[in-house]
Structure 1
Amino acid sequence: MATSSDNLRTYPECYSLTNMAAHVGRTFGPGAPQLIDQGRIQMFADATGDQQWLHTDVERAKRESPFGGPIAHGYLTLSLIAAEQIAIGIYPSDASGIMNYGINKVRFLAPVPAGATVTLSATLLEVTEKSEGRWLLRVSNTINLTDSGKPAVIAETLGMVFA
């Protein structure tokens, strides 16, 4: 029998559109470790225009940063949630589509240093039927620093699931 901390990718037959609500309270993950290296940080900075030295100037960050080196943008870390939710199976595999619907609350609890790895665990908090064939899932997400297990980001997200 699966426990609340089991990764449900192992048990795909037990989680579907028809029984999502029965899985409220269940934790999915943790997912595979994601490396946040300096190259990834720089690509995010280039894509968003956020070139703050704390993220992009390695030598200055080593000299002047209170963290001893460059750290990932908080929004880079936050952006990992969408793809990782899919990877850990928070959305039923029999859904025809899913889309981000919003974020209720985000907290950046610890910096993610360049070179760190993070993992996502997500707990299904609520399933609300919005209309025939459409459900809103409210999910609590925790991105942990792999080496310390310390939470870097906690975010409550909303995802729309389509039959």
Structure 2
Amino acid sequence: MRTMEYSMATIDEFVGQELGVSDWVIVDQARIEAFAQCTGDMQWIHVNEERAKRESPFGGTIAHGYLTLSLLATLAIEVGLIPPDASAALNYGLDKVRFMTPVRSGKRVRCRVVLSAVERKDGGRILVKTDSELQIEGETKPALIAQTLAMLVA
């Protein structure tokens, strides 16, 4: 149980702590196809279900790595990365990403978020670094691990 409220003023006290684990989100074929349409990445292993069943080592289609990566921002917001007194949070980039296990169509994923660093900037801004792990339901290895950066604005 936290002894203090998570806020822009107290965020430094939470470095090294898990902020939370998101709810499960399904990565179904409709989501994969929508991502493919949006990005133009129509590689068969993502969008051709029949061929993927025949030829893929995964027994079916898999999500794009960047689709799984794109889920981190929303899931981090869900677990409370942005303090309630921040007026905005901006994606600031990534320091490290490793895709560990493909996410097969129909699987559910969730994100575990640890606040790993805080750097106070001018104008009341705070650069935060998180260690995020996108877990796949029923799998021992995560889909990906990433060090993400966000700029919080007071």
TM-score when scaled to structure 2? 0.96
Alpha-carbon offset, residue 29 of structure 1: 2.0
In the alignment of these two chains, the number of paired residues is 154
**Identity over aligned pairs, percent:** 47
For structure 1, list consecutive stretches of 5 or more residues without a partner in the other structure. Answer: 3-10
1:20 match: 11
User: After the TM superposition, which residues 6-155 of structure 1 pair with which residues of structure 2 at under 5 Å, given as runs?
Assistant: 14-155=5-146
**Code of the aligned partner of 1:145:** I
- Give the 4+ runs in structure 1 shifted more than 3 A: none
Deviations 1:13-53 (A, max 9, x none): 61000000000011122101010000000000000000000
Q: Give per-residue Cα distances to partners, 1:47-103, cap 9 Å, x unaligned.
A: 000000000000000000011110000000000011111110012111000000010
TM norm structure 1: 0.91
Q: Kindly provide the amino acid, as one letter, of the partner of residue 14 in structure 1.
A: E
Q: Which runs of 5+ in 2 are unaligned?
A: none
1:120 counterpart SS class: strand
Offset at 1:132? Answer: 2.6
Paired residue secondary structure (1:69):
coil
